[in-house]
Homo-oligomer: A and B are copies of this chain.
Amino acid sequence: MEFVQSVLRGDRLALSRLLSCVENDVPEGRLALDALFPYTGKAHLIGVTGAPGTGKSSLVNQLALQIRKKEKRVAIVAVDPSSPFTGGAVLGDRVRMRDLAGDSGVFIRSMASRGSLGGLAAATAAVTQVFDAAGFEVILIETVGAGQSEVDIARLAHTTIVVEAPGLGDDIQAIKAGILEIADILVINKADRPGVETTERSLRTMLELAHPVRKVFRHHGQMMELNDGVVPQEGLWIPPVQRTVATDGRGVPELLESIERHVAHLRANGDWMRRERARLQAEFDLLLQEALVSRFLAKIPPSKVEGMLQLIQERRISPREAVYQLLEN
C-alpha cells in the first residue's frame, strides 16, 4: 500500500488522511493498521488526565515543547468528550497552535467521544498506533473526565499523569481518591495560586491511603517515608507529586525528568512489557468481540432478532433468556 509507505516516510498529508480513515473505522484504515502494526511498539505513551479547570491542555502543550528540546518527535492525541455525538474540540487546538505551529516534529489530533460503548477507546488506540508506526517517539494522550475514560487511558498509556489544581470545587476531593490509583505521576498545576500547600497536603494524605502504597506499607509491616519517585525494594513505584505553572512553563522540565525516571523504572522491572501486553490483549478482546457478534448476526435472519426484541419489550422474555434461545438455535 502506497498510502502506508507515505506515512512511514513521514508524509504529513498522508498521515492526516490515514488518521481520518482509522478514526472513522473504514476498511482502508483497518488494512493500513494491519500493515503498520509491525512498525509499532516503540513509542512512549503518556496519558494526561484530570478534572476540568486544572489546565491540562496548557500543560500538555508545555510538555510537548519540552520534549521537542530533546529532539524527539511528539504527537498529541486530545480525547475531548466535549461532543459525544457530533465531534468538536476545536477550542483547545487553537490555543495549542500558537506555540507548536510550524514544527514538523509535532502532530496534534483531536478526537471527540463516540456514542458507542468502547468506541472512543478503540479509536484512540488505533490513532495512537498510527503515530507510533509513523515514528513519533512520545505520544501524549489527553482526556477530560472522571471515571471510565481514565481507566481506559490507564490501560493504554505507559505513564499516566493526573493533573490537579488548587482551589477547585468540593466534589473534586471525591474524584481524586480513585484517580490516584491510576496515577504514575501527580501534577499540581497552577501552583502559583493560593491553596497549593493545602492541595499538596491532601494529595499526599490520599496517596498514603491509596491502594498501591498501602501494599508497600503492609509488606514492610511498618510505615514508610514517602520520598518522591523513590522505588522501594519490591520494585513498586510511588507516584511523585510535582508542581507546575503551565502558563509560563515552570516545573515542566522537572516533570519531564520524573517521566523519564518512570520509563526507566518500567523498563527495569518488566512493567513496560506487561503494560504493553495488557494493552494488546485489550485490543484483541475488543476485536474478537466485534468479529463474533457480526458473524453471528450474519447467520440469523434479522426478523428473528427483531422478534426477540419485541418479546423483550413486552416483558414476556428477559434479555438474558432471549440471548440464550438465540444461541441454542
Residues in A lying within 8 Å of B, measured CB to CB: 30, 33-34, 37-41, 51-54, 56-57, 80-86, 88-89, 91-92, 112-113, 115, 117-118, 120-121, 143-152, 168-179, 181-182, 211, 273, 276-277, 280-289, 291-293, 295-296, 308-309, 312-313, 315-324, 326-327
A57 and B89 alpha carbons, distance in the complex (Å) = 28
A57 and B282 alpha carbons, distance in the complex (Å) = 34
Residues in B neighbouring A283, C-beta threshold 8 A: 319
- Least CB distance, A245 to chain B, in whole angstroms: 15
Interface centre among A56, A149, A168 (most CB of B within 10 A): A149
Given contacts A40-B315, A288-B293, contact A81 B147 (CB under 8 A): yes
Given contacts A172-B52, A277-B309, contact A86 B211 (CB under 8 A): yes
Contact B81 A148 (CB under 8 A): yes
Contact A113 B178 (CB under 8 A): yes
Please tell me which one of the listed residues B57, B168, B179 contacts residue A53 in the complex, with CB atoms under 8 A apart: B168
Residues in B neighbouring A84, C-beta threshold 8 A: 147-148, 150-151, 178-179, 181-182
Contact A169 B53 (CB under 8 A): yes
Please tell me which one of the listed residues B150, B177, B288 contacts residue A326 in the complex, with CB atoms under 8 A apart: B288
Closest B residue to A116 using CB positions: B151
A169 and B163 alpha carbons, distance in the complex (Å) = 14
Contact A287 B83 (CB under 8 A): no
Interface centre among A38, A145, A324 (most CB of B within 10 A): A145
Contact B118 A117 (CB under 8 A): yes
A94 and B327 alpha carbons, distance in the complex (Å) = 45
> Could you name 15 residue pairs across A and B whose Cβ atoms are closer than 8 Å?
A34-B318, A37-B318, A51-B51, A53-B169, A84-B148, A84-B150, A85-B182, A91-B174, A117-B118, A147-B148, A280-B319, A284-B319, A287-B320, A287-B323, A291-B323
Contact B115 A151 (CB under 8 A): yes
Contact B148 A113 (CB under 8 A): yes
Residues in B neighbouring A178, C-beta threshold 8 A: 81-86, 88, 112-113
Please tell me which one of the listed residues B53, B312, B316 contacts residue A284 in the complex, with CB atoms under 8 A apart: B312
